[in-house]
Copies of this chain bind each other. A is one copy, B any other.
């Protein structure tokens, strides 16, 4: 299999970006990415675009807006989608594009504009990433889905509301240090614990943000990677798993089968295990999701995720620093963008270029974990400073 490296990264500021349209957000990220790589747009051979929702972007084929606005035609481009995991699927597709020999230099762009719609409308659109036939019509939206997961985890393993809140405190701590984050403010455990209930036991600070934003990475074949970048970051392992559409069909709500499968594939391909990961970004759409991810990715034994964050083991200095960019929780979660932004963060960490206070020392191997829906899809990628 061909070796493929990240040779450029860029992203827009996340937030309520009423100053920019979908296409303008994408342009912001692409410009930053190409400047980072010192590569002109003319040299890029192909593009993969991730926009998760037609409805929020008011468009069929939203990728055409991005192609047009950055002036990419007549070159190849298309969109990939898997709800909130769309961005990582685009990274995977960009990898395939190069490893298949079809191109040597591929731009992967994620963009989403979510805040133009009222929050209730966005929540409704997102809700249909679950089973729109048998669960959604009965009133289920994402806080509800993850509340059920949290309740099951608390019942089975004794996970506490304070442990959930500890995830939020950690991610806001690091998000405050990330200039691209949507919500740059520290919060206390008390503030999180006393915030209003959205879907019990999940409270306001257990829920990620609804954000606008874009991110881009430039992928290169081995032939070009070393010529373009002094510090190419190699994609060493790729994993993609799927799970049942309905929560009701899962034997155990405390784990996402899609994550377990994706992790298995990615670790096997990379020839590494959870203990080899120096830094990780995981899908914390809700605080419980980060705790479940710790366990499903093998960062701790099953049921001990709550304790892991309570013991500060997922802070820098702990056994496995997680979401030191602020995560979906504080950096924000423009859904089609998130997976690409995860690749941006891991690349910066492995290059040693993360912001002060949130650079993991001597990070050589990184992992990204991105979930679509409530576990219908999950994508895990392993990145490394070294090719093999």
| Contacts from A to B (Cβ < 8 Å) | 1-2, 21, 46, 52-55, 58-61, 63-65, 67-69, 72-83, 85, 89, 92-93, 95-102, 125-126, 128-129, 131-133, 238, 240-246, 249, 257-258, 260-261, 265, 372-373, 376-377
Contact = CB atoms under 8 A, between A and B. Distances in A.
Dominant secondary structure of chain A at its interface with chain B: mixed
Contacts of A63: 81-82
A126 B129 CA distance: 21
A79 B49 CA distance: 12
Given A81-B81, A101-B1, A102-B238, A53 B60 contact: yes
A64 B246 CA distance: 10
Copy tally for this chain in the complex stands at 2
Contacts of A372: 61, 64
A243 to B, nearest CB: 5
A69 B75 CA distance: 36
24 contacts: A55-B60, A58-B132, A61-B81, A61-B83, A64-B83, A64-B242, A64-B372, A64-B376, A64-B377, A65-B245, A68-B131, A74-B261, A75-B261, A76-B240, A76-B241, A76-B265, A77-B240, A78-B81, A78-B85, A78-B89, A93-B93, A96-B96, A96-B97, A100-B100
